Amino acid sequence: MRYFHVDAFAQKPFTGNPAGVCPLESWPAAALMQQIAAENNLAETAFIVPRTDAAAEYDIRWFTPAVEIDLCGHATLASAHVLFTHLGLAETQVTFHSQSGPLRVAREADGRLTLDFPSRPPQELPTHPTGLTDALGATPLRVLASRDLLVTFNSEAEVRALKPDMARLAALEYVGVIATAPGTGELDFVSRFFGPRVGVPEDPVTGSAHSTLIPYWAEKLGKTELRARQISPRGGDLWCRLRGDRVDISGYAVTYAAGEIRVG
């Protein structure tokens, strides 16, 4: 099985979010894909299979080391990078069909890749989930939710200082917890993402979280074009746009390794 290790939302190795990408001709058993993702031990491994009835269209599935998930940004970006850079895809756009519907990735003139993802605006929760403050080790300003829990703070420093209790976070009934605050300088906002419930204690750069972050900050700041940075230890930069019920999430990607997986 061909295998690529790509750093997504990165312009040089050892930054951004590493993803595994396995291009396939047909689907293996889901149990095998889960085993491969666990062995890779990256936040996500993506598996892609071409559709025979349309050019530049693929089915895609994503697995963390623990579970299959419904939406993943960085591994989708990495999959497009592999197709454009290593597998000879000549088109400037590729469509991935997923549990979350069709996801398009466009190759921009400057080398960036732009994800076309669903917008998932968060809704304010009337009360904080039980145990949230203890799990975070801090009290957020606001608590909202979409697929993930969104907690807001006054400053980047507060988000950087978070040292959450992962066992307590994993007990919350959400895929992940997004912590966010206003950015400074050219940055409109910053964030971190914690997903111990799905086997990812802290995700370096989380494209899918920006399906929630973009509509939140677009409304709060009164603008649709946004610059963002995920301030994990590896870090990653994102260019964002709100387009009604869709969001554009752009970033770079670099290949770290390419080879084969041997499973038999």
**Catalytic member of 39, 44, 91, 260:** 44
- Asked about 44 being catalytic, the answer comes back as yes
Distance CA 188, CA 231 (A): 13
> To 10 degrees, the CA torsion angle through 25, 16, 232, 164?
10
Contact 78, 253 (CB under 8 A): yes
Instruction: List the Cα angle 129/184/18 in 5-degree steps.
Output: 65
Contact 30, 55 (CB under 8 A): no
Distance CA 9, CA 254 (A): 8
Catalytic positions are 44
